[in-house]
Amino acid sequence: MGFNGDIVLVRATRPLADLAPHVDTERHPARVLWESSGGWRATHVRHDDDPYAFERSWMEALAAKADSPVLMCWVFEAHVAHVQGVSAAGAWEGWLNPGDAAAHLAVSRLELEAARTGTDVFGPDGDFLDPGRYAELRDEVVGVLDRARPRVAAAAVRWAEAAGRIVRADAVERVLARNQGESALRVFGLLADRLGVGPE
């Protein structure tokens, strides 16, 4: 299995396990990925169980305890990742590697439709039973992500401002638009860098 779990980025002098529940336990082992100036630390928390433990309420509680904005990236396939930020400027979310994200989300929607109708998504050979419907859903998601990108980039800039960083929305938007088959870990590192809190 490739890289998966959550990357939690917060400004703190104490380890993440001291600030938040479910971290560095048997089911949620943790390791520091990088540290950057100003006390920022990115911690990878793997999920052997309960991958939904680290949702927005968990992030908000961490932000309050650490008195810091929080940025989190949930990697659930090597190239597919959902990123969220919380700060005094509000909360925001988006997807990295939009082509891979659209493919993943399209399959999820197909599975929901199949569950409602009692049908299958894949045939015995592993191919889509209705490739046209898959392509339609994938293209719909691509359109949604494209339209949302300027709004997500602007929200990320406000997050960075709350973190004491001045950044450019166009630089953030370019990272959100990257579609080069890179690992989600690499693209998240680039996003963190554009937000002024990346690895050094």
Q: What is the pLDDT of residues 114-129, one digit of tens each?
A: 888 888 889 888 888 8
The first and second tokens of residue 30, run together, are 């943790």
DSSP 3-state assignment of 33?
Answer: strand
* pTM score: 0.91
Q: Is 199 part of a structural domain of the chain?
A: no
Q: Is 200 part of a structural domain of the chain?
A: no
Cβ-based neighbour number of residue 40 at 10 Å: 24
Phi, psi of 41 (to 5 degrees): -140, 130
- In the chain, the N- to C-terminal Cα span, in Å, equals 27
Read off the pLDDT of each residue in 162-175 and give the average, rounded to a whole number: 96
The first and second tokens of residue 15, run together, are 């380890």
> Which of 153, 148, 187, 156 minimizes the C-alpha distance to 170?
153
From residue 14, alpha-carbon distances to 11, 43, 59, 146, 169 in Å are 9, 12, 16, 38, 31
Which residue range forms the structural domain that includes residue 107? 5-194
The first and second tokens of residue 157, run together, are 């800039």
- Band the pLDDT of 5: cuts 50, 70, 90: confident
Predicted local distance difference test score (pLDDT) of residue 149: 97
Give the count of domains, the chain.
1
Q: Is 63 part of a structural domain of the chain?
A: yes
Q: Is 167 part of a structural domain of the chain?
A: yes
Q: Is 78 part of a structural domain of the chain?
A: yes
